[in-house]
Structure 1
Amino acid sequence: MSQTLLRAAQGAVFAGLVSFGLAAQADTHQLYQASGMQTHQQHFQQALSKASSRYAAQLPAALADSLLRKSSERFAPDRMEARAMASLSINLSDQQLNDALQFYRSNLGQQIIAAETRATSPAEVSRMQNGVPPQNTSAARTALLSRLGKQLPALDIGEEVSLALASLATQSANDMLGGLLTIPDGLAGQGRGTLRAQMEPNLPQTLAYVYRDLSDQQLSDYADWSESDTGRAFFQAASAAARDALNP
């Protein structure tokens, strides 16, 4: 083969690999959007900004400055999004990614995402500060919610958000103390089991409230999908993506 033909062949292979990589990246970004992950991340940023403003006014100036600086570094939106999408692409096969994308683009998937993103919106979070409004559910619907609760990564992600914020506060305090009295970075992680135990009893009523507008049949279909191979794979990947996004 001549050098010209060899270079042409190498160029064609390289172009093919680039095209394949861009296509995979595009599919991952589409799933990131369609599954509501992008909207949840935007809601997290809004909540973080609100909390930062509130605590900045209450903390000593040195600690407040350190907290805001580290928050901006750790939770930069574009970097969080990049880490989340990279994690998704690693933890989902092409088939799983495409199957999940097809589900979330369906009518049922869109209704589910509308319910889930509404639940993490600043307005809804503020509304639920004093607890979730009690929901009266039938035994059959309660059973469906229980099935769903065993698959959803709600508790895992709740833990990761809480621990990431606790870790941030610990690092900021250590910066202010200058090593004079070091707080162990792993201190927040010691409360993981306790944190989960506190959240778990509230999960059934929370799910009943979040999915209150879904019919029993829709809830059943969602529970079925959550127990499918694709559903399980996606929820595991979503949990990993949230962890990677929050922990650079």
Structure 2
Amino acid sequence: MPQTLLRAAQGALFAGLVCLGLSAQAETHQLYQASGMKTHQEHFQQALSKASSRYAAQLPAALADSLMRKSSERFAPDRMEARAMASLSVNLSDQQLSEALRFYRSDLGRLITAAETRATSPAEVSRMQAGLPAQNPGTQRAALLNRLGKQLPALDMGEEVSLALASLATQSANDMLGGLLTIPDGLANQRRGTLRAQMEPNLPQTLAYVYRDLTDQQLGRYADWSESDAGHAFFQAASAAARDALNP
């Protein structure tokens, strides 16, 4: 009888752990969707496809084939999503995961996600590349945007996307050269500081444009959340998830 009870207890414990694991996995997937990360990845895939088609027509056939093949391998959507969600689950505690999910399911969180995913859509990216409409936020709003700029991982993610694409091009070039002349794999990483220096001056105007439809009160609440322990933890985890998704 004691052995029977022990086996029953072990079975119940195992079943409980499985349920907890599935619950955490489900919440991670829900956060991945609610925070806009899934949509951002879809927008990245659309931009990647457009850029690949454009450059394929300009490159030698061998290099174009290598670039397309490596792009398909490295940036396969299902693999990127799996890496991103695995990274989120590792870098967020259950409590942090639940708090972030609660925020992004709120009315404010939905507004934030809508503004941020709109900003990464191919149409909006093309519009911004043509030149941002001048934004003239007042002193109070500029201060709120400055607070957000210190917390959001926008520059980190911009760097990671640029460096991942540069690394991909380097690998393809090395394949074509066949070892006769090897380009160092770490060459792209040497541009990290330069990339940030180029992007940073544009950040205030970019944020003013992205969040242009939010009221000062809504922007203030978002700034408050970004500075909270839960917000800080999520942004760090989101930055790591983007890096892991882009770099298998």
Q: Shorter-chain TM-score category?
A: over 0.9
**In the TM superposition, what whole-angstrom CA distance separates every residue of 1:174-198 from its partner, at most 9, and x where no partner exists?**
0000100000000000010000000
* SS of equivalent to 2:129: coil
| 2:80 aligned partner, one-letter code | M
TM-superposed deviation, 1:131: 2.0
Give 1:178's aligned residue. 178
* SS of equivalent to 1:128: helix
1:56 corresponds to 2:56: yes
Partners of 2:76 and 2:3 lie apart in 1 by 46
Give 2:168's aligned residue. 168
Partners of 1:116 and 1:92 lie apart in 2 by 21
**In the TM superposition, what whole-angstrom CA distance separates every residue of 1:135-164 from its partner, at most 9, and x where no partner exists?**
111011111100000000000000000000
TM-superposed deviation, 1:14: 2.1
Partners of 1:45 and 1:3 lie apart in 2 by 55
Listed as ranges, the matches of 1:197-212 within 5 Å are: 197-212=197-212
TM-superposed deviation, 1:4: 4.6
Partners of 1:4 and 1:80 lie apart in 2 by 45
| 1:109 aligned partner, one-letter code | G
* SS of equivalent to 1:58: coil
Give 1:9's aligned residue. 9
- Aligned CA RMSD, in angstroms, stands at 1.1
How many percent of aligned residue pairs carry the same amino acid?
86
Give 2:30's aligned residue. 30
TM-superposed deviation, 1:17: 1.6
TM-superposed deviation, 1:132: 1.5
Give 2:146's aligned residue. 146
TM-superposed deviation, 1:12: 2.3
Partners of 2:25 and 2:171 lie apart in 1 by 33
Give 2:85's aligned residue. 85
Runs of 4+ that moved beyond 6 A:
none
Partners of 1:226 and 1:12 lie apart in 2 by 40
1:155 corresponds to 2:155: yes
Partners of 1:69 and 1:218 lie apart in 2 by 44
| 2:25 aligned partner, one-letter code | Q
Partners of 2:64 and 2:213 lie apart in 1 by 41
For structure 1, list consecutive stretches of 5 or more residues without a partner in the other structure.
none
Partners of 2:11 and 2:165 lie apart in 1 by 47
Give 2:100's aligned residue. 100
Give 2:127's aligned residue. 127
| 1:88 aligned partner, one-letter code | L
* SS of equivalent to 1:66: helix
TM-superposed deviation, 1:5: 4.4
For structure 2, list consecutive stretches of 5 or more residues without a partner in the other structure.
none
Give 1:112's aligned residue. 112
Partners of 2:107 and 2:143 lie apart in 1 by 23
| 1:106 aligned partner, one-letter code | S
1:222 corresponds to 2:219: no
**In the TM superposition, what whole-angstrom CA distance separates every residue of 1:106-150 from its partner, at most 9, and x where no partner exists?**
111100110000000011011112221111110111111000000
Partners of 1:211 and 1:12 lie apart in 2 by 49
| 2:40 aligned partner, one-letter code | H
Give 2:190's aligned residue. 190
Give 2:242's aligned residue. 242
Partners of 2:173 and 2:147 lie apart in 1 by 41
